[in-house]
Amino acid sequence: MDVEQERLRDYLTGSRPDHSLFAPEFLAEVTGEELAELRRELRPLLGRVWTIEPDDAAGADEASPGRYRVRCPRAVVEARVAVDGRGLITELLLEPVPAERPRSVGERLRDLRGPAIALGFLLVLLAMAVDSVLAGSRAGTLAALAGVPALAVVCWFGVPWSWASQYARLPVVAAALVLAAVGLARLPGLPTGRGGYLRLAFAGSAWLAAAAILRGLREAPGERAPLLIANPLPGSRVLIGQGGGGGVNHHAGHPVQRYALDLLCLNRFGARARGPAPRRLAAYQAYGATVAAPCAGTVLAVLDGQADQPVQASPFEPAPQVRQHAYGNHLLLRVEAGGEVVLALAHLRAGSLRVAVGERVEVGQPLAEVGNSGNTTEPHLHLHAAARVGGELVPVPVRLVGRPGRTPWRGRRLDR
């Protein structure tokens, strides 16, 4: 085993990271705390290190740092490491690659827990609607009917329909409302009856959830007028995966990204991917989609070269990510019509960026492709706008050109 492999194994194994393995100039750029944090993130993903082998697929290039594959029970990691004449590490890069072994039945079932929970909401909605038809008394029917509209709101806005088909929500909710209408029509001929308290309690819970979602759809007022943009993914069926207020947009808690949007692409069946929880990047409709300039501006910054992160197919698993810039490959545009407004486009595909710093771009000009780099769980395009006011960055709402009064909340289409 050569010195590079020995140093790599020394870093990945042992009870704690050994800072004496690294050259002083390396530690001047990457702190010991960052090295320890990286290893803490990798250890659950890797488990015990099996072998460290030269990566023949990288090709022989004596001028480049050594490339290796670290094989572990839970993952395979591509490693790039360089050492100096003293045997100290001067460069280190670790990137997980898709597992080469077949996933077990248990792992596949865990990936499907998210879709199963979403399906449960649909089944409960239909069950309550059917219950309103089958109940044998007015009290029972009214109690069942009370929860149907609230559950319809929860299912319409709260269920991630794009895991199966965005087009399915209309017939499902419509069927529930039709059944509820039939139950309502039966009321005059039913006896008064008693009970229905459990149904009423469930209906009350459904209304609380519906009220929280409806309140969360509304964006907080902005300090500046909205930035009008064109569709940044022309030619695609674009679904807003995150957008709107805090109840339906996980970005809302970040001050500068309060109005950020995460954009997915749908296939012709209305699904974001081939399968409910695929692991392959290419299975996602957004991966590789062309990103076009949503407004005219000047390129302020460009970052490229970040590898795609592995897909986090289920929200119930830890994200197997490597440390990268939060935006991954990205670019920043100074918007000409917005004064000091800067628009960020993030999670782009490595090697796809077609513009350079200082370049002026026009609306619709191809800029890059959608990837899965940075702080992301699956391929999508992230965008947000901010303006500098009094030395501080403040978030700027975004609206689609032609529909300035329409809030871009989760579940809406951006391309129409």
In order, the DSSP letters of 183-240 are HHHHGGGS------HHHHHHHHHHHHHHHHHHHHHSPPPPSSPPEEE--SSTTSEEEE
- Does the pLDDT at position 183 exceed 70? yes
Token representation of residue 273: 């991917």
DSSP 104: P
pLDDT exceeds 80 at position 410: yes
Region 90-94: mean pLDDT is: 80
Report the percentage of the chain scoring pLDDT > 90: 34
Lowest-confidence segment of 114-128, 210-224, 314-328, 370-384 by average pLDDT: 314-328
Which of 284, 272, 208, 278 is closest to 413 using CA atoms? 272
Which of 21-35, 209-223, 246-260, 364-378 has the least mean pLDDT?
A: 21-35
Mean pLDDT of the chain: 83
What is the model's pLDDT at position 61? 43
SS3 45: helix
Q: What is the pLDDT of residues 3-15, one digit of tens each?
A: 888 888 888 776 6
Convert 178-192 to b/e letters by CB count within 10 Å (16 or more is b): ebbeebeebeeebee
Residue 77 identity: V
The H or E element that residue 105 is part of is helix 105-111
Q: What is the mean pLDDT of residues 223-241?
A: 92
pLDDT of 154 > 60? The answer is yes
Please tell me which residue, 215 or 118, carries the higher pLDDT value.
Answer: 215
pLDDT tens, residue by residue, 286-301: 999 999 999 999 999 9
- The answer, yes or no, to whether residue 77 has pLDDT greater than 80, is no
- Per-residue pLDDT, 63: 37
pLDDT of 211 > 60? The answer is yes
Judged against a pLDDT cut of 60, whether residue 318 lies above it is answered with no
Give the helix/strand (H/E) hosting 360.
strand 360-361
Gap between the Cα atoms of 111 and 219, Å rounded: 32
- Is residue 42 very low, low, confident or very high in pLDDT (cuts 50, 70, 90)? low
Tell me the mean pLDDT in the region 146-157. 91
Look up residue 252 and give its DSSP letter.
Answer: G
CB 140 within 8 A of CB 196: yes
- Going by their DSSP bridges, the two strands 341-348 and 360-361 should be labelled as unpaired
- Banded pLDDT at 60 (limits 50, 70, 90): very low
At residue 64 the predicted structure's pLDDT band, cuts being 50, 70 and 90, is very low
Residue 209's nearest CA partner among 151, 156, 159, 248 is 151
Residues 376-383 have a mean pLDDT of: 93
pLDDT at residue 217, as a whole number:
85
Q: How far apart are CA 11 and CA 15, in angstroms?
A: 10
Range name among 58-72, 80-94, 276-290 with the lowest pLDDT average: 58-72
Quick one: tokens of 320? 């197997």
User: Which residue type occupies 186?
Assistant: R
Residue 372 to residue 329: CA distance in whole angstroms: 9
Where residue 185 falls among pLDDT bands split at 50, 70, 90? very high
Residue 242, C-beta contacts closer than 8 angstroms, at least 6 positions apart? 248, 249, 250, 251, 260, 261, 262, 410
Report how far Cα 144 is from the mean position of its chain's Cα atoms: 36
- 292's enclosing H/E stretch is strand 290-292
* Highest mean pLDDT: which range of 35-44, 220-229, 341-350: 341-350
* Alpha carbon distance 75, 279 (integer Å): 13
Tell me what pLDDT residue 59 has.
45
